[in-house]
Amino acid sequence: MPSSPDPGRAGRLRGVTYAHRGLHGNGRIENSPSAFAAAIAAGHGIECDVRRSADGRAIVFHDRELDRLTGETGPVAARSAAELARIALRGTGETIPTLRDLLDLVAGQVPLLIELKNKRERPAAPLCRAVLRDLEGYRGPHAVMSFDPRVSAWFARRSPGTARGLVVSEANARTLVAAFKRHLALWRARPDFLAYDVRDLPSRFAASQRARGLPVLTWTVATAALRRRAAEHADGWICEAEGVATASAGA
């Protein structure tokens, strides 16, 4: 069983609605400066994704490849930060931001969740180091999280004051073997919170961790019905579309 969670690290994550990849739609593309600015203006927290550039910088971008969100092709990891900064996000005049750009924009105004996108077959430390380098000196409320338990474990060792989360999706895997793997990931990660797929709630595993004091955030809450489910079974909500509108209306 992992050690008891420290309420001081993750307590500020509770009760917050986070705009998933910023407040995108209506001409604003996901993980763009305008989507982040819109979330700040609406008073929502922000959830974003980061990857590592070829020269070791933390870049705010969800996909492994550039193809879906830009007019370029190929992996993000093959380009330098300077090259990526010149690539326009599809249909906009905006370019791909670095994590440092995002931190300068947010400047502590709203809580920030940073999801580190790392493949299990690749070392986690290089991306973790890139993120921590940018976070040094940042005083606003923030946390890191990842599906990869090595990310949370790395921050537990190298930056124990940083709130860290394990992202979980049961993906219809509710067998004894799958449950064992979730417990093993929890033990390895030593997280301060869980970020759980809303489609899996209610979940016995999530409920048991919540009962022992581990905050449970949930993603991606995109409808009013999912918002109601999330309100019952989670402590913070990563939302988009109707899920954000429902939150803004106070439902």
pLDDT of residue 228: 96
Is residue 203 packed enough to be buried (19+ CB in 10 Å), middle (13-18) or exposed (0-12)? buried
The pTM score is 0.95
Tens-level pLDDT at each residue, the chain (251 residues) = 566 667 678 888 999 999 999 999 989 999 999 999 999 999 999 999 999 999 999 999 999 999 999 999 999 999 999 999 999 999 999 999 999 999 999 999 999 999 999 988 899 999 999 999 999 999 999 999 999 999 999 999 999 999 999 999 998 667 888 999 999 999 999 999 999 999 999 999 999 999 999 999 999 999 999 999 999 999 999 999 999 987 766 55
pLDDT at position 186 is 97
Outline where DSSP puts E strands in 61-207: 112-116, 142-146, 163-168, 193-197
* Per-residue b or e along 176-189, where b marks 16 or more CB atoms closer than 10 Å to that residue's CB: eeeeeebeebbeeb
Domains of the chain in sequence order: 12-248 (3.20.20.190)
Q: Evaluate the CA torsion angle 190, 194, 195, 199 in order and state its sign.
A: positive
DSSP code for 19 = E
Q: What pLDDT shows up at residue 52?
A: 98
Q: Which amino acid is at 109?
A: Q
